[in-house]
Structure 1
Amino acid sequence: MSNPIILVVDDEPRNFDVVEALLGHQGYELQYASSGVEAFENLALFPISLILLDVMMPDMDGIEVCARLKGNADWVMIPVIMVTALTSKYDLVRCLDAGADDFISKPVNGLELKARVKSLLRIKAQYDQLHEFAQLQENTVILLRHNLEALQGNLAASFPHELNTPLNGIIGGLSILLDEHNTMSCEEQQTFLELTYNSALRLQRTTQKFLTYTSLELSLQNPQSLKPRPHDGPKPITMADIMQTIAFQEKRQADLQTELGEAQGLIDYDDFTTLITEILENAFKFSPPGSPVQVTSEAIADQFILRVTNQGRSMTEAEIQRVGAFQQFNRQFYEQQGLGLGLKIVTNILKKYDGEIKITTPSTDSTMVEIRLPLCLGQ
């Protein structure tokens, strides 16, 4: 997080030197303006956190400057401390009427200045947090309204079930353990603990999937968030490692067949992990155990191409057309659990990076998902 920027507005440069000596080592960035006009120029250039404003200035005094900036919706919440040699109650009332948040008298006392600045910056930080939260709420409402038709369909119908089923498993398992643990054998206790734990994992996956979808939708509304972020921390695991982990979780290690090339894509590491996870989990979910799930990847020209093929009843043309529309497809082999969010997440990630998805049915008992992403060549 960057240091708070404090704008000192005073027609006497020596007064700025005093403030700089008092606040220069407090973790603040100081900007100086010698007039009201310069103050507004600074406000347009920098994200000012607080203003120290001299009252007695030529041309435009501090009271007029304060009134103008408090009349601007973009600057109204910036705290203003009036620095003044005025002592009459009338002058102080004028400062208050102009919107000043606090006063400090000349000559400036260092301890008093530090205390007042710290207090108002804390209030400003709390306001900024509330404003960001309110903006997030507004964006979320817009997002939900935008997708209302889809949410009223399969997603809205599935979400209560997908939450209640694991919750019932958790509550039921814990209830039995609490009531009967004294009469249970260790093996029985272990069985109920495993059932409860698996229900908790399912609830966690459901919640995380919905949060991932929401985050992607919001990022698509904010172009600044579309830039790939550097991966911090330990060295990322490879694409092959990710796939082996998913196969292990699905108890399908023997079914996974891979032929992977190397390429560096223009995509955030976490987004790429989510992309692979969603596609491969679907391939395992919609194919019977013992049937192969084949994964190939290669770099052709300026594109990274990943293909995942699974055996099972293939998707119909109508189902393919509804990909990314919160659609749960009527595929056999298992009771299909989920929100229908998987392919919606995939399509949103690809949209974020100008990628493409193509689903084909090589035969009546197989489905192939192909994704294409732009390459970062020469890295």
Structure 2
Amino acid sequence: MTMPIILVVDDEPRNFDVVEALLGYQTYELQYASSGKEALENLAMFPIALILLDVMMPTMDGIEVCTQIKANKDWAMIPIIMVTALTSKYDLARCLEAGADDFISKPVSALELKARVHSLLRIKTQYDQISELAQLQRNTIDLLRQNLEALQGNLAASFPHELNTPLNGIIGGLSLLLEEHTTMDAEERQVFLQMTYESALRLHKTTQKFLTYTKLELYLQNPERVPLHGLDGPKPSAMASIMKDIADSEKRAKDLQLVLGEAQGVISYADFTTLITELLENAFKFSSAGSPIQVVSQAIADQFVMTVTNQGRSITPEEVQKVGAFQQFNRQLYEQQGLGLGLKIVMSIITKYDGALNISTLPEGGTCIEFRLPLLQEASESHP
């Protein structure tokens, strides 16, 4: 845990030693400034948590220093304890008018100094916590504002359809079953139950995509303080298993071609699953059954490189530029409807791990999506 930094401002160097002895060097980190000018320079260099400021100093006295600090919005919330030999109410009032949070009289008592420092640092910690929460709220609002134009366009038009279509399927299927179940035979009931179930799955998938995208964007705005280099990505055998399951669900198992090396990227198992699911589902969606979908992974220098190639319709450079705007590619050519969030989710995951994404069109038709991640140097046994 980082010790709070206390700035001691006094033109008498021996007073610094006194403060150090009174507070104890193992509890706080102390910085020393012998003048008001030096104190302001220290504030620009160190994350000062509290200031012990002597009132009587030449050139720029403590009251002037306090006034300048409190006038700066970046420093205004740093608590200042004025250390003074002055005792008149007028002088003490001047200290408070300058913005001082507290004052202590010379000679300084160890017990009193520790109590006042501890109290003000506790208040400062509470203020910092509230400020961090407020910043998180501001970042969330900014994120929503940044995406508002896109949401008002393609998303605003698509979202009702994406929700209403499966919802209508669920309501319609259940209504028929409730009204006609006594006259239906077992096979008819099975058909309507299957249709209702598929509509529910589609609705669930749509909402999960939005939740995934939102969580990723919030992470990128406020990264978790967890070192990503400690993660262990899935091994090639696990990668293959994930991809085969996706191909099976799309009824395209025979079309999937895997050429996986032994390399692993620095990425969590869950994020890799989301990443490759989005890429493969797009590859299957925009290619015909019977055409190959090839996935190749290898280590190049210090990077894990994976490509997903299909021989279906190509994504144009213009469409690639619109990935971040929730663009659904050439909707008129496909019966499948979608919100175009898949590649945006892919980009957010890759950004999270400081990777890179490249989308290119093949000369003979089709699209190759390549992503690069930091290479995992030592395989972990956490996942098969």
State the TM-score, normalized to the length of structure 2.
Answer: 0.69
* Aligned-pair CA distance for 1:295: 0.5
Residue equivalent to 2:344: 344
SS in 2 for 1:60: coil
**Structure 1 unaligned spans of 5+:** 170-190, 220-224
Residue equivalent to 1:14: 14
Letter in 2 for 1:369: C
Whole-Å Cα distance in 2 between the matches of residues 249 and 240 of structure 1? 15
Query: Quick check: 2:304–2:372 contact (8 Å CA) kept in 1?
Result: yes
Task: Write the mapping of 1:283-322 to structure 2, written as runs, cut at 5 A.
Answer: 283-284=283-284, 293-298=293-298, 305-310=305-310, 314-315=313-314, 317=316, 320-321=319-320
Deviation per CA, 1:7-44, whole angstroms, max 9, x where unpaired? Answer: 11123333322332343366432111222222112112
Whole-Å Cα distance in 2 between the matches of residues 205 and 22 of structure 1? 58
Query: Quick check: 2:236–2:263 contact (8 Å CA) kept in 1?
Result: no
Distance change >3 Å, CA 349–CA 157, structure 1 → 2: same
Whole-Å Cα distance in 2 between the matches of residues 168 and 104 of structure 1? 72
* Aligned-pair CA distance for 1:276: 3.7
Distance change >3 Å, CA 106–CA 305, structure 1 → 2: same
Query: Quick check: 1:306–1:372 contact (8 Å CA) kept in 2?
Result: yes
Residue equivalent to 1:122: 122
Query: Quick check: 1:51–1:81 contact (8 Å CA) kept in 2?
Result: yes
Whole-Å Cα distance in 2 between the matches of residues 167 and 114 of structure 1? 64
Provide the aligned length of Structure 1 versus Structure 2. 346
Whole-Å Cα distance in 2 between the matches of residues 55 and 156 of structure 1? 61
RMSD: 4.6
Letter in 2 for 1:371: E
Residue equivalent to 1:358: 359
Residue equivalent to 1:231: 229
SS in 2 for 1:124: helix
Whole-Å Cα distance in 2 between the matches of residues 48 and 70 of structure 1? 14
Whole-Å Cα distance in 1 between the matches of residues 109 and 159 of structure 2? 60
Distance change >3 Å, CA 165–CA 46, structure 1 → 2: farther
Deviation per CA, 1:30-71, whole angstroms, max 9, x where unpaired? Answer: 111222222112112111111111222233221121112112
Residue equivalent to 1:186: none
Distance change >3 Å, CA 374–CA 333, structure 1 → 2: closer
Residue equivalent to 1:34: 34
Residue 231 (structure 2) pairs with residue 244 (structure 1): no
Residue 86 (structure 2) pairs with residue 86 (structure 1): yes
**Structure 2 unaligned spans of 5+:** 170-193, 379-384
Residue equivalent to 2:259: 259
Query: Quick check: 2:315–2:367 contact (8 Å CA) kept in 1?
Result: no
State the TM-score, normalized to the length of structure 1.
Answer: 0.70
Identity %: 59
Deviation per CA, 1:150-204, whole angstroms, max 9, x where unpaired? Answer: 22122234456768999999xxxxxxxxxxxxxxxxxxxxx99xx9999778644
Whole-Å Cα distance in 2 between the matches of residues 24 and 285 of structure 1? 67
Residue equivalent to 1:95: 95
Query: Quick check: 2:246–2:277 contact (8 Å CA) kept in 1?
Result: no
Deviation per CA, 1:187-242, whole angstroms, max 9, x where unpaired? Answer: xxxx99xx9999778644421222314544x48xxxxx8xx954236x43335524
Letter in 2 for 1:231: H
Residue equivalent to 1:185: none
